[in-house]
Amino acid sequence: MIQDMTKTTGRFSNIVHPTDLGEAGRAAFAHGLRLAVAARGRFAVVHNAGRELDDAAALEAFPGVRDTLASWGLLDLGAPTRSVEEVLGIRVSKADLGGGGTVETLVDYIDRHGCDLVVLATHARDGLPRWLRGSVAAAIARRAAVPTLFLPHDARGFVEPRTGALRLANILMPIDSKPDPAPAIAAVTRLVEMLDAQAARLHLLHVGPAATAPEPAVAGWLAQRLERHHREGPVVDAITAEADATDADLVVMTTEGRHGFLDALRGSTTEAVLRRANRPLLAVPA
């Protein structure tokens, strides 16, 4: 049985998981569901085949939700659909974007449903699930920035999909004076508190001259588990090396642009770190 997963926090409580329903997305699905249970929030599975379903139909159409919760010891096997909300307090929905889904249609869905976290599997070479690949239209610029958790399909995550067990011992956050690291620090603090991950250690890494290293404030008990690191050399190389040295379970980075998860997949430092480090990465828009 997983302990303290149903504690109400109100943080990252509206989670959207875009998926092509392929095997590569299994870890991202597990992470999104685990976070939704911790927040007692909403978990929306969005794919690219038909129409939006109500909560009851969604659970029947995507039975992995109840099966997964049962395997985690949170529901009885074969529990009725209503028990997901009645017992665990989470609302599950499934949106089918009708076969023509693109980045633009996903952005529209996120805008309409007030998402505060996207959980997305990435593929080794192409970055996005198959149905999200392609050009990014001007409509992207109109969307509000949303933190996004990327799960490389062959990487070790911080949620064990079969059991729901949490491994979040080391979090690496590269920082500089620009962009401001404060939003990323706030996001990781919310995440750690939501998951009650009291063993987590936060590693702040500055790449460049030591004299230019910022010293952002870290509040709460996480401040007692803070370590500061410094490296010289190419930024991506330094971040990747530090991720290996700290055995990071999660990398957290601030994105400079205003388009949330899309910025992390358009030639940015975040994209390069995601591909090279091959670890879960939380991108937080500045």
Q: Domain coordinates of the chain in residue numbers?
A: 14-152, 170-277
The residue ranges of DSSP E strands in 97-169, in sequence order, are: 117-122, 148-152
**Distance (Å) of CA 248 to CA 8, 83, 169, 252:** 27, 35, 8, 10
Q: Which CATH class is domain 14-152?
A: alpha beta
Q: What percent of the chain has pLDDT over 90?
A: 37
For residue 275, what pLDDT band results from cuts at 50, 70 and 90? confident
pLDDT value for 100: 60
| C-alpha span between 184 and 71 (Å, rounded) | 32
Classify 89 as helix, strand or coil: coil
What is the CATH code of the structural domain delimited by 170-277? Answer: 3.40.50.620
Sign of CA dihedral 170, 256, 103, 57: positive
More confident residue, 265 or 23: 23
In sequence order, what E strands does 145-286 have?
148-152, 170-174, 201-207, 226-231, 250-255, 281-285
The answer to whether domain 14-152 and domain 170-277 are alike in fold is yes
Of 132-141, 166-175, 257-266, least confident by mean pLDDT is 132-141
Indicate the average pLDDT of the chain: 79
pLDDT in tens, 99-112: 665 666 777 787 78
